[in-house]
């Protein structure tokens, strides 16, 4: 194969290949051959790197798949295309899911577009809403993939970031000083006039949930300016405190708010690619045009299984129980993680409000710290700089993959602590 510089790739792709996702780079470091090359035993490595969940999917969902696959006629049907926005019945059931779990009112199939996970849908939402030269407001820190996704979805997008972390005090400003962040938001909005404001609830990597007052200010300001507010709800079902009111907002009441939802984290359907957008019908219809060119239709088998599972699991109460039981597992994993960080690292960190992560201040350039820590301890964490400049001295620790093996959480963090003390 010739080197990529010798083949005729697009300028955009060449530019983006030169700027690979920092998280993917780190995860590559943890691949078996690289671990062996470092002289480490792969079975001794403890990885806090992965942004994924590891609990069991609902058994009733597994059975729904089995019923469809075991019956010749339904299996045949699962090989057909559905409508571009997804099967009407499945769209209706996903609307019911949101109403049942989060109390979202007045929601119907017309507010739902199904896609192949939130990654594809976020790309298509960008494509649907943005023009060249537009500005998008992201948080600092936030999910590392948004900038690359913006670059691929729409040319010449300007990104401005709203600073949410104080790296000096390691405090999360929307909690420590919400009025200041609201004032900062208004100032930045007036200066840059973004067409879209996007944040995660809870966010990756901080696992913090923006307070209602800030999100209400964002909603009102974007609405008056004719702009959009998008909320990435990839971790919506992992909440350790009563969720703020905006978890239950409906496009019927707030027409400029777009919810990005995913099957990946709540029911461990990461590889069974399914996600959905909740928005006003005009956005959903526009997405249909975009998806005709990006996806054609979402996975039919996944939609058939979901459309069987949701009404049955709402009916017998098992969906609510499943969400509650899953939450309890991640809340406990978060508690164990924070207790181990406090005991073994004694460094500033954020207490998760949901999600799969905490961020810890390592007090030094994290890009250099992470490979040294892996080499010395066999423990992998993710450097924070890829999530935003405020985390350049921080690392993300994910307890998601270790939720069923909490002893590894304690073991991994205590190894890091021993190394830090011995090298101090």
Ligand X SMILES: Cc1ncc(COP(=O)(O)O)c(C=O)c1O
Q: Which residues bind ligand X (CB under 6 A)?
A: 51, 117-119, 143, 200, 204, 232, 234, 262, 264, 270, 275
Question: Closest CB to ligand X among 102 and 357?
Answer: 357
Minimum CB–partner distance for residue 37 and ligand X (Å): 27
User: DSSP states of 214-242 as a string?
Assistant: HHHHHHHHHHHHT-EEEEE-TTTT-BSSP
Minimum CB–partner distance for residue 30 and ligand X (Å): 16
Question: Closest CB to ligand X among 305 and 420?
Answer: 305
Interatomic CA distance for residues 164 and 234, integer angstroms: 19
Q: Give the chain's largest Cα–Cα span.
A: 66
Interatomic CA distance for residues 215 and 27, integer angstroms: 33
Query: Is the Cβ–Cβ distance between 259 and 79 less than 8 Å?
Result: no
Question: Closest CB to ligand X among 270 and 314?
Answer: 270
Minimum CB–partner distance for residue 343 and ligand X (Å): 28
Interatomic CA distance for residues 26 and 49, integer angstroms: 8
Minimum CB–partner distance for residue 146 and ligand X (Å): 8
Query: Is the Cβ–Cβ distance between 226 and 134 less than 8 Å?
Result: no
Interatomic CA distance for residues 284 and 111, integer angstroms: 6
Question: Closest CB to ligand X among 78 and 264?
Answer: 264
Minimum CB–partner distance for residue 144 and ligand X (Å): 9
Query: Is the Cβ–Cβ distance between 206 and 172 less than 8 Å?
Result: yes
Minimum CB–partner distance for residue 270 and ligand X (Å): 6
Question: Closest CB to ligand X among 118 and 377?
Answer: 118
For residue 11, CA distances in Å to 18, 127, 324 come to 11, 19, 47
Question: Closest CB to ligand X among 128 and 377?
Answer: 128
With 0-12 / 13-18 / 19 or more C-beta atoms within 10 angstroms meaning exposed / middle / buried, residue 74 is middle
Question: Closest CB to ligand X among 78 and 145?
Answer: 145
Minimum CB–partner distance for residue 216 and ligand X (Å): 21
Name the residue number minimizing CB distance to ligand X.
Answer: 262
Question: Closest CB to ligand X among 61 and 420?
Answer: 61
Number of other residues whose CB lies within 10 A of the CB of residue 342: 12
Minimum CB–partner distance for residue 333 and ligand X (Å): 16
Q: Classify the phi-psi angles of 77: left when phi > 0, otherwise alpha if psi is within -120 to 50, otherwise beta.
A: alpha
Tell me which long-range contacts 319-328 makes (C-beta under 8 A, separation of at least 24). Answer: 319/58, 319/97, 319/100, 319/101, 320/100, 320/101, 322/58, 322/267, 323/101, 323/237, 323/266, 326/55, 326/237, 326/238, 326/266, 327/237, 327/238, 327/239, 327/240
Strands 394-398 and 357-361: antiparallel
Minimum CB–partner distance for residue 265 and ligand X (Å): 7
Question: Closest CB to ligand X among 309 and 357?
Answer: 357
Number of other residues whose CB lies within 10 A of the CB of residue 115: 31
């Amino acid at each position: 194969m010739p080197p990529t510089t010798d083949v005729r790739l697009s300028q955009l792709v060449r530019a983006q290949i030169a700027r690979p996702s920092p998280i993917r780079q780190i995860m590559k470091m943890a691949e078996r051959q690289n671990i062996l090359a470092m002289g480490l035993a792969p079975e001794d490595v403890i990885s806090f790197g992965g942004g994924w969940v590891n609990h069991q999917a609902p058994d009733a969902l597994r059975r729904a798949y089995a019923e469809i696959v075991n019956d010749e006629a339904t299996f045949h049907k699962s090989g057909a295309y559905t409508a571009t926005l997804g099967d009407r019945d499945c769209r209706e059931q996903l609307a019911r899911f949101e109403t049942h779990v989060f109390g979202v009112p007045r929601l119907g199939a017309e507010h739902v577009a199904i896609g192949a996970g939130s990654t594809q849908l976020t790309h298509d939402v960008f494509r649907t809403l943005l023009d060249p030269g537009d500005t998008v407001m992201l948080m600092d820190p936030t999910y590392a993939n948004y900038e690359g996704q913006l670059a691929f979805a729409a040319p010449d997008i300007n990104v401005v970031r709203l600073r949410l972390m104080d790296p000096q005090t390691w405090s999360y400003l929307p909690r420590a000083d919400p009025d200041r962040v609201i004032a900062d938001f208004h100032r930045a909005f007036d200066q840059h006039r973004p067409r879209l404001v996007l944040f995660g609830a809870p966010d990756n990597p901080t696992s913090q949930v923006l307070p209602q007052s800030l999100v209400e200010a964002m909603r009102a300001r974007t609405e008056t300016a004719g702009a959009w507010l998008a909320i990435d709800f990839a971790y919506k079902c992992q909440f350790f405190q009563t969720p703020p009111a905006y978890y239950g907002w409906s496009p019927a009441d707030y027409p400029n708010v777009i919810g990005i939802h995913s099957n990946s984290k709540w029911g461990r359907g990461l590889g069974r690619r399914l996600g959905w957008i909740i928005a006003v019908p005009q956005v959903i219809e526009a997405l249909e045009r975009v998806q005709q060119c990006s996806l054609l239709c979402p996975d039919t088998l996944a939609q058939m299984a979901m459309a069987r599972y949701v009404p049955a699991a709402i009916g017998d109460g098992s969906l609510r129980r499943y969400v509650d039981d899953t939450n309890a597992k991640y809340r406990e994993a978060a508690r164990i993680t924070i207790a181990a960080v406090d005991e073994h690292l004694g460094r500033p960190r954020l207490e998760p409000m949901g999600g799969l992560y905490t961020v810890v201040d390592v007090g030094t350039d994290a890009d250099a710290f992470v490979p040294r820590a892996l080499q010395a301890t066999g423990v992998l964490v993710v450097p924070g700089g890829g999530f935003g400049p405020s985390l350049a001295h921080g690392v993300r620790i994910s307890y998601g993959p270790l939720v069923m093996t909490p002893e590894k959480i304690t073991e991994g963090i205590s190894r890091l602590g021993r190394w830090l003390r011995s090298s101090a």
